[in-house]
Amino acid sequence: MLCVISVVMHHHRLHTGESLTEVIDKVKNEADITEYRHDDKPVSYLCSMCDKRFPRHKNLRRHIRRLHTGENSYACSQCQKEFISQDALRHHMYIHTSKYKCTDCDQCFPSSRHLIEHSRSHSGEKPFVCTVCGKQFAISHQLVRHSRIHSKEKPYRCFVCDKVFRQSAHLTVHMRVHTGEKSYICSLCNKSFSISSDLQRHKLCVHTNQRPYLCTYCGKMFKTNGQLKLHVRIHTGAKPYSCGHCSYVFTSCKDLKRHLLKSHNEGMSV
């Protein structure tokens, strides 16, 4: 959600020419609260930046401070980590007091729930079972996320292009397509990437001689799984890319594109 909000602010700044500080001040001081009454329904408070409504004024204020301004007003005296509310800080302090401490690894947690969930990593307990496929999970929200595979539920929608996702993390990664954000930077050449797996693949391919992917047919080694899959088609004879204009089939997408351009004068993307 935070990533989506940042995109909203980014687009707002693009269209208005306002600085980030000006946008924040506008959210805080101008049109951040709107009261709506629908017949006998109670007043709701509308956030003008994302149209989310709240039943109480303090809920809206907390929402704005947390997601739109980035303010964290409550700092931990032990580690200086900042929090958006006193309650959040109070729960965090349990980490320093060792109230909820794992007896197996001495790791501390902010609540008994977090400690119980963590303890299952030691015991191997997985009490949450999928009724469709029987897969087991240690934490309830993992089961909820998994269940979407069977129901085809995709509750996370991109407000820019309407593409939907099963997990919020997938939406966060997708939003970088629209923002151009590339926060994963190679420490060896400073090339940047949108997702960590692309950075790891880059390091493996460009900066090391490691070849961890083995062809079981001939023993040849490859740097990436994609290179291995392409190579294996030499042994299997698989040609999954077919031309829509003629009967030719190809081993790789690159070969198909070359064929389309050369034989059909079509520089389309496949």
Q: Would you kindly state where each structural domain of the chain is located, as residue ranges? A: 213-263
Q: What is the pLDDT of residues 193-220, one digit of tens each?
A: 888 888 888 887 888 888 888 899 998 9
Of 126-130, 157-161, 194-198, 202-206, where does the model show the most confidence? Answer: 126-130
- 82-25-67 Cα angle (round to 5): 40
State the architecture of 213-263 in CATH terms: 2-Layer Sandwich (3.30)
pTM of the model: 0.35
- Predicted pLDDT of residue 13: 40
Nearest one of 195, 196, 192 to 173, comparing CA atoms? 195
pLDDT range class, residue 235, cuts 50, 70, 90: very high
Residues 6+ apart with CB under 8 A from 29: none
* pLDDT at residue 172 greater than cutoff 60: yes
* pLDDT at residue 82 greater than cutoff 90: no
- Percentage of the residues of the chain whose pLDDT score is greater than 90: 7
**Region 114-123 average pLDDT:** 88
CA distances from 128 to 72, 118, 153 (A): 35, 14, 19
Q: What is the pLDDT of residues 6-48, one digit of tens each?
A: 434 444 443 344 444 444 444 444 334 344 333 444 446 777 6
| φ, ψ dihedrals at 190, nearest 5° | 70, 10
- Predicted pLDDT of residue 48: 66
